[in-house]
């Protein structure tokens, strides 16, 4: 359940980034750039989530690595699709 909540929060954060891209550039190009900027920010958030799982929840890095992959990949793939669609517009 925690993984789904974190991935959902990632998609919501992507929406916030894209909206700020619209406010900043008022164009599809600004929104696409914001979606691209989201990816490294989300990587940092996902790594922080992994760090918390290892240091506070008692999981090993080996146990947390697949979770990190999923938690990072789902919103990052959504961001890539959004950026691709917006760059076509």
> Has residue 12 got a pLDDT over 80?
yes
Q: Which domain holds residue 27?
A: 2-88
> Has residue 59 got a pLDDT over 90?
no
Residue 13 has what pLDDT?
A: 95
Q: pLDDT per residue over 14-53, tens digit each?
A: 999 999 999 987 888 889 999 999 999 999 999 999 999 8
Number of domains the chain contains: 1
Percentage of the chain exceeding pLDDT 70? 100
Q: Average pLDDT over the chain, rounded to whole?
A: 92
Over the Cα atoms of the chain, what is R_g?
Answer: 14
The secondary structure of the chain in percent helix, strand, coil, rounded to multiples of 5, reads: 90, 0, 10
């Amino acid at each position: 359940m925690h993984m789904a909540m974190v991935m959902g929060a990632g998609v919501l954060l992507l929406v916030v980034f894209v909206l700020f891209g619209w406010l900043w550039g008022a164009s599809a190009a600004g929104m696409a750039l914001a979606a691209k900027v989201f990816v490294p920010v989300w990587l940092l958030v996902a790594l922080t989530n992994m760090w918390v799982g290892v240091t506070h929840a008692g999981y090993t890095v080996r146990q947390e690595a697949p979770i990190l992959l999923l938690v990072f990949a789902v919103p990052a793939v959504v961001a890539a699709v959004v950026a691709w669609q917006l760059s076509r517009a």
